[in-house]
Amino acid sequence: MARRFNPPPNWPALPDDWTPPSGWRPDPSWPPPPAGWQLWSDDSGYAARLAKRVCLGPVAHSPVRKAIRGTLVGLLASAVAVNAFSGGEPPAPAAATANAVPSSRPTPTAAVTSAAPSFIPTPTTSPASVALPDVTGADEDDATTTLIAAGLVLSWMDLDNLPSCSLDCVVVSTSPENGTELAQGTTVLLVRAEREVYDFYRKRSKMPKLVGLSENKASDALDAVSPLVETDHVTAKAGQKADQVIKQSPRAGAALRPGRPIRLTVTEQDRYATEDVPAESEELDDVPAEESRDVVSSVHPGAFCSPSGALGRSKSGVLMRCSTKAGDSRARWRRS
């Protein structure tokens, strides 16, 4: 018998002549069929005629038989509906197959289902890494711009044992070293000093030899880092010349570490010896009397000073003057 599935009008649209596969169930979200709706129908009408002929006999106009016929037809429709929901075949007499009308609607290849939502995890990302740019020798503004553009955080400090840098400051070193891979947001320590201090260490990787030089020549060689220089004066022994460097630390040829103190030992004449010792008054012959009272004592040769033109004496008693020379950014104590 040819049968056709009749979807209720309040269900979602299904393909024409779609037949539920075995085990199919309606979507729970669909509304129930209207009361008395038949999910399956027989286009030939043979099933109803057969039920009438078998159950009621040839007389069809008896009221009793009409009632029985209606009851049987209702039971048959109910059985068809229940069988449709359970996925089974509707009951039909075998003889009705000959009168079945072939269906012209195609059978769907898949049941209508609602897709379950898919979960896509959100990927986690780590901070991007960057190689620490080389900013050694760059001034403060350029170094700041470069490192901020790289996503790094800056922290500044002055070079050890030197006055706080306030003029023409450049980067002497960084921690960590240039080229180190860092995550963006990492703090970088930058050590700064005046440009002439940076140039001193850039041109010299090792400690120069100062032994044998006079105090003035040694001071000139260390002029850029004079605040790091500590000088000890000792009385010249027999056979030693006065005003001569006889010891240095670090030793000549040792690696220079920026900010490391430099110690010199310089000979001087015996202050109590009478020969070859100039009188203090002779050294100050050219100094006006009112200025002689303002001579600064125990000045360090090569150290920064102010004001320019001021007078002073080193620990060995040498007269010094606060002065500048070509290329100086600040005045220093030099032999008068």
Cβ burial, residue 217 (10 Å; 0-12/13-18/19+): middle
Cα–Cα distance, 177 to 14 (Å, whole number): 72
Residue 334 lies in a domain: yes
Residue 272 is predicted with a pLDDT of: 60
Cα angle 217-221-227, degrees, rounded to a multiple of 5: 110
How confident is the prediction along the chain (336 residues), in pLDDT tens digits per residue? 567 778 888 888 877 777 888 777 888 888 888 888 887 776 655 555 544 554 445 544 555 555 556 666 566 656 555 555 555 555 555 444 445 455 555 555 555 555 555 556 666 667 799 999 999 999 999 999 999 999 999 999 999 998 899 889 999 999 999 999 999 999 999 999 999 999 999 999 999 999 999 999 999 999 999 999 999 999 999 888 999 999 999 999 999 999 999 999 999 987 665 444 454 444 445 555 545 557 888 787 777 788 888 898 887 777 888 888 877 777 888 877
Residues shown for the chain: 336
Residues 289 and 260 in one domain: no
Residues 133 and 186 in one domain: yes
Residue 51 lies in a domain: yes
- DSSP of 162-187: SPPP-SSEEEEEEES-TT-EEETT-E
Residues 10 and 78 in one domain: yes
Residues 269 and 286 in one domain: no
Residue 123 lies in a domain: no
The candidate with the shortest Cα–Cα distance to 151, out of 135, 128, 174, 167, is 128
Residue 68 is predicted with a pLDDT of: 57
Helices 46-56 and 63-85 pack at an angle, to 10 degrees, of 130
Residues 265 and 293 in one domain: no
Per the structure, the complete domain to which residue 304 belongs is given by: 278-336
What SS3 class is residue 113? coil
Residues 95 and 7 in one domain: yes
The answer to whether 140 and 169 are in contact (CB under 8 A) is yes
Residues 16 and 31 in one domain: yes
Residues 253 and 296 in one domain: no
- DSSP of 71-86: HHHHHHHHHHHHHHHT
CATH code for position 146: 3.30.10.20
- DSSP of 120-147: -PPPP-PPPEEEPP--TT-BHHHHHHHH
Q: Which of 78, 99, 120 is the last residue of a domain?
A: 99
Residue 116 lies in a domain: no
Only one residue has tokens 């106009």, namely 61
Residue 104 lies in a domain: no
Structure tokens at 263: 């110690």
Residue 115 lies in a domain: no
Residues 10 and 94 in one domain: yes
Residue 84 is predicted with a pLDDT of: 55
Q: Which of 199, 221, 242 is the last residue of a domain?
A: 199
Residue 75 lies in a domain: yes
The candidate with the shortest Cα–Cα distance to 96, out of 1, 221, 223, is 1
Indicate the number of domains in the chain: 4
Q: Which of 182, 199, 216 is the last residue of a domain?
A: 199
DSSP state of 287: S
Residues 10 and 79 in one domain: yes
Residues 145 and 60 in one domain: no
The answer to whether 172 and 198 are in contact (CB under 8 A) is yes
Residues 252 and 306 in one domain: no
Residue 304 lies in a domain: yes
